[in-house]
Amino acid sequence: MLELAKESSRLLGEMGKRRTPPATPDQSTIRTPAKRTKRAEIHHPHHAAAATAAAAAADVDALEYAQRWDKAEAKVMADLRNLAAGPQPKRGSSAETECCAQLRGFICAYGTARTFRGLRADNVAPLAPIVRHIQRRWASGELPRRQSEPAFVVGEVEALADVCKAAGFARNLSFASKTLNMLGLRVALFSSECVAFLRLPKAVGYGAFHEAWTAEYAKRHEALEAAAAKHAAALSPWPAGGAQGKYKGTGGTADAWLAIRALDIRMLKDGGPMR
């Protein structure tokens, strides 16, 4: 009997040492991962408002440039393209002097005369190297064909600015970009207002400027291109050839070019004086 009692006591002790099984958790307290919502499914009213405002601004800017084109700039482009198309005159000839006078007219029309010191109506000969460079580059056919290549565009603007400096004038990126743009090419205009708008340093080169300008255009391209398509018909006649069919086409359309000019208008408005 004593042994039986001891055995019973031992068994009861072992049972007491066994662990109690874990309680079943309350299902109401268990957190399940929230379902992910696709970003495309989230609509923010302020995004729609911003897009509407951008479209309205682009429409205003495209229309403003189209009206400017009709008043004066169609002739500016036609004259410059006729000059670029040649024929290339002999050096020192009266024909070359006439070409230089035509280029001076473009310089004065586009407000870059202040960077061409000493240039007068009776002293246009210093422009001859610049005229020859523009005519050679246009005759090559590369300008319209490669205008979509950023490195090529930057190189052409920089090269024309270098020719200005070699001719005894300032290294004029503004003139260089405006000249290529007004040949009907898709080249962003370099100006102090545009540099300020993009918050770039004053001494920025055209390469860095072009990169920043392109990024800004990418943000606005839908609104700009829609507005340009709407108003491009006003750019008539858009040059498909010279007055006598002497020069090649731009390799682009009026609306593609107008979209660039519309952004230029916005930058000139909002950039303000160089800071």
Name the pLDDT band for 118 (thresholds 50, 70, 90).
confident
pLDDT at 119: 86
User: Is 109 within the bounds of a domain?
Assistant: yes
Residue of 208 and 52 predicted with greater confidence = 208
Q: Is the pLDDT of residue 11 over 50?
A: no
What global pTM score does this model have?
0.77
Q: Is the pLDDT of residue 210 over 50?
A: yes
Q: Is the pLDDT of residue 40 over 90?
A: no
Q: Is the pLDDT of residue 134 over 50?
A: yes
pLDDT at 242: 38
Number of domains in the chain: 1
Q: Is the pLDDT of residue 251 over 90?
A: no
Q: What is the mean pLDDT of residues 104-114?
A: 84
Q: Dihedrals φ, ψ of 167, to 5°?
A: -85, 0
User: Is 27 within the bounds of a domain?
Assistant: no
- Ramachandran sector of residue 189 (left: φ over 0; alpha: ψ -120 to 50; beta: rest): beta
User: Is 198 within the bounds of a domain?
Assistant: yes
Q: How many CA atoms lie within 13 A of 104 on its CB side?
A: 19
The total of other beta-carbon atoms located within 10 Å of residue 104's CB is: 20
Query: Buried (b) or exposed (e) across 40-64, using 16+ Cβ within 10 A?
Result: eeeeeeeeeeeeeebbebbbebbbb
SS3 62: helix
User: Is 3 within the bounds of a domain?
Assistant: no
Q: Is the pLDDT of residue 243 over 80?
A: no
Percent of the chain with pLDDT over 90: 51
Strand partners, 120: 123
pLDDT at 48: 74
User: Is 220 within the bounds of a domain?
Assistant: yes
User: Is 52 within the bounds of a domain?
Assistant: no
Q: What is the mean pLDDT of residues 110-122?
A: 83
User: Is 34 within the bounds of a domain?
Assistant: no
pLDDT at 249: 46
Q: Dihedrals φ, ψ of 120, to 5°?
A: -135, 165
Which residue segment(s) compose the domain that 87 sits in?
61-271
SS3 119: coil
User: Is 110 within the bounds of a domain?
Assistant: yes
| Torsion sign (Cα): 247, 252, 254, 257 | negative
Q: What is the mean pLDDT of residues 169-185?
A: 93
